[in-house]
Amino acid sequence: MLIFSVLFFNLIIGCLFYGLPSESSYNTNIDLNFENITFSSIRKEDQVIQAFIFAWNGYKKYAWGKDELEPLKKNGSNSFGLGLTIVDALDTAIIMGLKKETNKAIDWIKNDLDFDVKNDNVNVFETTIRVLGGLLSSYNLIKHPILLEKAKDLGDRLLSAFIQSTSPIPRSDVNLKTRIASNPSGYSSLAEVSTIQLEFRELSRLTRDMIYEQYAMNVSNYIHRIGCDGLCPYLLDVNDGKFIETTRTLGARADSFYEYLLKQYLQTNVDWFREDWNNYIDLIEKDIYMKIGSDYVLGEIEKDKTFSAKMDHLACFLSGSLALSYQNGINSKHLKMAENIAETCYKMYDTPSGLAAEIYKWKEEKISSDFRDRHSLLRPEAVESFFYLYRVTGNRKYQDWTWKIFQSIQKYARIPEGYSSVKNVYETEYITRIDKMESFFLAETLKYIYLTMAENQTILPLDEWIFNTEAHPFPISK
């Protein structure tokens, strides 16, 4: 039944295209034209597609081939040199059925994506989740052979991070041209080393070469074996593989470790992933999941073991993971916990701009954000969780919340050249902008908003597809 459903989904995607998606015959037949349509008169899901096209066109005009658009300078940034926005956003364009955008991206990947060009380091984690993940998910959707060819080439180069390490922990950086791995700081974050397994396992599945999965799985096995005293610190010494005592958090540098415990279980059916996931959720509930006033907060345990009522917007991912856990029958109490956290995450958007700040703190039962943390990068974690909760519960309030956030993005982040990050979500009279349109805005934020607002809720069913931490879907093989 699973194989039939996956094939059926690919058939539906294929119906959006002419012929077989091969090098010789790949083409699309959907061409959405919004030029003469009143914005408020079209369906909500089509308004999201229009927003994606607008962002894509700004990137295409000013930054094509660069990693990300700098809309204020009308230029592109190129820290990776891998066309991040093109590869990261490709599967969103495919899912939305966009002909011109998909074909242009495929042409660039075929003719211009060359991993030998940039003689410099790239971060293994970011490259894996955005570029490798984007190539693999897009290949699964349309089966264009160049996507898998490029994914294998990239995977071979990234393996250096594992092979050249003195411990089971991979090095943080790789020079893709020379294939020399390094770790300038001497340590790697927990999220970096534990959030690459879905992608390497999928590469093994598609190429039938187990070496990618084996190296990535060694990391998971190692962390499982050494364990943590409670929740895990967020740093590991790459030389000896030992944890470095740091804050215990669900925010930056730790978040997706927990996310991938659940998702690796769904991808592999290996029991200890499920056991570790459940055990860590119990620890989260006991140690950092606190009700402060009317809000359920995911705080942190500081290095001195004290509790801090500080919550990153990044931590909102847990709500969606808990909903997914509930849907898969892992633990019935996880749904209520997911709903409570989602309420808090939605409250983060209760600002004058309707955008959420990066980090919040609770003092005397009141939520606030320090001035340095009041920026918004248009992150996806809240709308990601609303997507999961809407799929799992059918409660339309999650659609309403998502739509309200989308409208705020349209009002305060959209500028003539594309979309910009916002420096202070509490200001609306004069918007101070950050000169960057993150690739994840197209790859994740707009994708999750689209999937939540789509009338067809059978697109990418959660029992057949699993999303990596960059919102790239892989089919579940059981």
The annotation places the binding site for Ca(2+) at 469
3-class state of residue 18 by DSSP: coil
Cα separation of 346 and 296, whole Å? 12
Determine the angle formed by the axes of helices 334-347 and 271-287, rounding to 10 degrees.
50
Distance of CA 393 to the CA centre of its chain: 22
Contact between 16 and 97 (Cβ < 8 Å): yes
Region at 375 (left for phi over 0; alpha for psi -120 to 50; beta for the rest): beta
C-alpha 234/C-alpha 368 separation (Å) is: 25
Rounded Cα–Cα distance for residues 273 and 367 (Å): 34
Exactly one of 255, 276, 444, 464 is catalytic; name it. Answer: 255
Tokens of 129: 């989740």
Tell which residue, 392, 220, 227, 234, has the closest CA to residue 312.
234
Q: What is the maximum span of the chain, computed from C-alpha positions, in angstroms?
A: 64
Q: Which of 68, 381, 417, 438 is catalytic?
A: 381
CB contact burial 353-380 (16+ within 10 A = b; e otherwise): bbbbbbbbbbeeeebebeeebbbbbbbb
Known binding-site positions:
469
Which long-range CB contacts under 8 A does 29-37 form with residues at least 24 apart? 29/99, 30/97, 30/98, 30/99, 31/99, 31/100, 32/97, 32/98
Q: For residues 91 and 442, give the distance between their C-alpha atoms in angstroms, rounded to a whole number.
A: 10
To the query of whether residue 381 is one of the catalytic residues in this protein, the response is yes
Give the neighbor-by-neighbor strand order of the sheet with 173-175: 121-123, 173-175, 180-182
Could you give the 3-state DSSP secondary structure of residue 291? strand
**Any long-range contacts for 293-296 (C-beta under 8 Å, 24+ apart)?**
293/362, 293/365, 293/366, 294/365, 295/343, 295/344, 295/347, 295/362, 295/365, 295/367, 296/337, 296/340, 296/341, 296/343, 296/344
Has 126 been annotated as catalytic? yes
3-class DSSP state of 323: helix
Q: Which of these, 339, 470, 459, 474, lies nearest to 45 by C-alpha position?
A: 459
Spatial separation of the C-alpha atoms in residues 405 and 239, rounded to whole Å: 43
> And the tokens for 324?
């997914």
CA 362, distance to chain mean position in Å, is 27
Among residues 88, 101, 213, 358, which one is catalytic?
358
Active site residues: 126, 255, 358, 381
